[in-house]
Amino acid sequence: MDGVGLRGEDARDAGVRRVLLAALGLNLVVAAAKIGYGRVAAMLSIEADGYHSLTDGFASLVALGGLAIACRPPSATHPYGHRKYEAFAGVALGVSLLLLAAEVGSEAVVRLSDGRAVLPRVGGGAFAVLLGTLAINLGVARWQARAAERLGSTLLASDARHTRADCYVTAGVLLATALTWLGQPGLDVVAALVVAVLVGKAGVDVLRDNAAYLADVALVPPEQVRRVVEAVPPVVSAHAVRTRGTPSAVFMDLRLRLPPHLSLVAAGEAVARASEAIRSEWPQVVDVVVHPEPDVTPEASPAGAPPEGAPRTRWPPPQASPKAALPAGSA
């Protein structure tokens, strides 16, 4: 990667880091407000929602740690770079969400089966805390989603989705709180169970998405690559298109069929033009490996004969006949 590319990566990583740090601070404020009020008012649903918000802060910490490793340049031991550490950070986040879901769910079951459970005390403070934290989370989720799209960051996209899920959970808890205030206290524990289910689903989704990157899921549709490359003269066709990596750092390789009469120089120029077309269409592609090969279909010129006026040097070079290689007098 050239110097300009490295500077662009540094700017991108700095932008991602700023968003994650700001989200971390706001998530900690939201979590503290929910957990503190939930304990004082004996409202398990609000307390559980607070722990869910706390995982948003933990997600930002994990993302920051993963980013610190992922932004390292390629090395002798990691020639393709370290971007997949973003996916490893996502896997850690998914596992933590599943553990949290199990803890919140088990606590709700115990509270539901305990006849001596303390009834929640619903007041104006509950609605103020929930509405205030919901507004903060909605703003954070929208900001993260826009930044993720602008910077091409899988970490920010996952963090934004997690924060958005927290908004849905908080809205559900707000509804349950209103019903409890109207005389249905048992719904507080039911809402905690719903929180546990939603947290577990978020964990499964995060694990699934990041596992796909670790398993080298295709990141660019091959038919789109073929359409772009085949518009570059003198490319006849493209095939065996493969991509892997992460959405912000895609590695691609493909095969190009070129007219058989092309010289090595002309074939190299065609490969360079095809690579440039790919990078222009998909800036997130950090490396392209193109394998040129002669077009040997029946429609190609017979025996690789060049058209009139074309250079005599053919590509690939003709092979020497076995008879010509025999020592003199051995025929």
Same domain, 64 and 183: yes
Mean pLDDT of 99-116: 77
Q: What is the pLDDT of residue 298?
A: 65
Same domain, 286 and 205: no
The enclosing domain of 276 has a CATH number of 3.30.70.1350
Domain end (from 175, 198, 214): 214
- What integer best gives the mean pLDDT of the chain? 81
Q: Higher pLDDT residue, 100 or 197?
A: 197
- pLDDT, tens digit (0-9, with 9 covering 90-100), for 33-61: 999 988 888 787 788 888 878 877 777 78
Same domain, 170 and 72: yes
Q: How confident is the model at residue 119 (pLDDT cuts 50, 70, 90)?
A: low
Asked whether residue 127 is assigned to any structural domain, the reply reads yes
Domain end (from 178, 195, 214): 214
The enclosing domain of 108 has a CATH number of 1.20.1510.10
Domain end (from 190, 214, 238): 214
Record the tokens describing residue 196, joined without a space: 């546990």
Mean pLDDT of 61-90: 84
Asked whether residue 314 is assigned to any structural domain, the reply reads yes
Q: Confirm if 199 and 52 have CB atoms less than 8 A apart.
A: yes
Q: What is the pLDDT of residue 252?
A: 97
Q: Higher pLDDT residue, 249 or 255?
A: 255
115-119, 126-130, 178-182, 251-255: least confidently modelled range: 115-119
Helix axes 186-214, 154-181, angle to 10 degrees: 170
Q: How confident is the model at residue 115 (pLDDT cuts 50, 70, 90)?
A: low
Q: 3-state SS string over 8-68?
A: HHHHHHHHHHHHHHHHHHHHHHHHHHHHHHHHHCCCHHHHHHHHHHHHHHHHHHHHHHHHH
Asked whether residue 61 is assigned to any structural domain, the reply reads yes
Asked whether residue 206 is assigned to any structural domain, the reply reads yes
Asked whether residue 79 is assigned to any structural domain, the reply reads yes
Same domain, 184 and 271: no
Same domain, 179 and 253: no
Same domain, 151 and 273: no
Same domain, 136 and 164: yes
Q: What is the pLDDT of residue 32?
A: 92
H-run or E-run covering 145: helix 124-151
26-35, 99-108, 143-152: least confidently modelled range: 99-108
What's the distance, CA 166 to chain centroid?
20
Q: Taking Cα atoms as reference points, which of 251, 249, 268 lies closest to residue 71?
A: 249
Looking at the structure of the chain, the number of domains it has is 2
Asked whether residue 330 is assigned to any structural domain, the reply reads no
DSSP string, 87-133: HHHHHHHHHHHHHHHHHHHHHHHHHHH-TTPPPP---HHHHHHHHHH
Same domain, 115 and 237: no
Helix axes 85-113, 186-214, angle to 10 degrees: 160
Q: How many whole angstroms separate alpha carbon 31 and alpha carbon 169?
A: 13
Asked whether residue 331 is assigned to any structural domain, the reply reads no
The percent of residues above 90 in pLDDT, for the chain, comes to 31
Q: What is the pLDDT of residue 95?
A: 86
- pLDDT, tens digit (0-9, with 9 covering 90-100), for 319-331: 544 444 445 544 4
Q: Is 43 exposed, middle or buried (0-12, 13-18, 19+ CB in 10 A)?
A: buried
Q: What is the pLDDT of residue 255?
A: 96
Same domain, 233 and 210: no
- pLDDT, tens digit (0-9, with 9 covering 90-100), for 256-285: 999 999 999 999 999 999 999 999 999 889
- pLDDT, tens digit (0-9, with 9 covering 90-100), for 299-317: 655 444 455 455 444 445 5
Mean pLDDT of 91-105: 82
Same domain, 105 and 236: no
Q: What is the pLDDT of residue 172?
A: 76
Structural domain including 110 reads 3-214
Q: Higher pLDDT residue, 248 or 6?
A: 248
- pLDDT, tens digit (0-9, with 9 covering 90-100), for 192-247: 788 788 888 888 988 898 899 999 999 999 999 999 999 999 999 999 999 999 88
3-state secondary structure of 245: strand
Q: Higher pLDDT residue, 179 or 310?
A: 179
Same domain, 176 and 319: no
Same domain, 125 and 13: yes
- Bridging pattern class, strands 237-246 and 285-294: unpaired
Q: What is the pLDDT of residue 226?
A: 96
Asked whether residue 87 is assigned to any structural domain, the reply reads yes
Q: Higher pLDDT residue, 129 or 195?
A: 129
Mean pLDDT of 141-165: 82
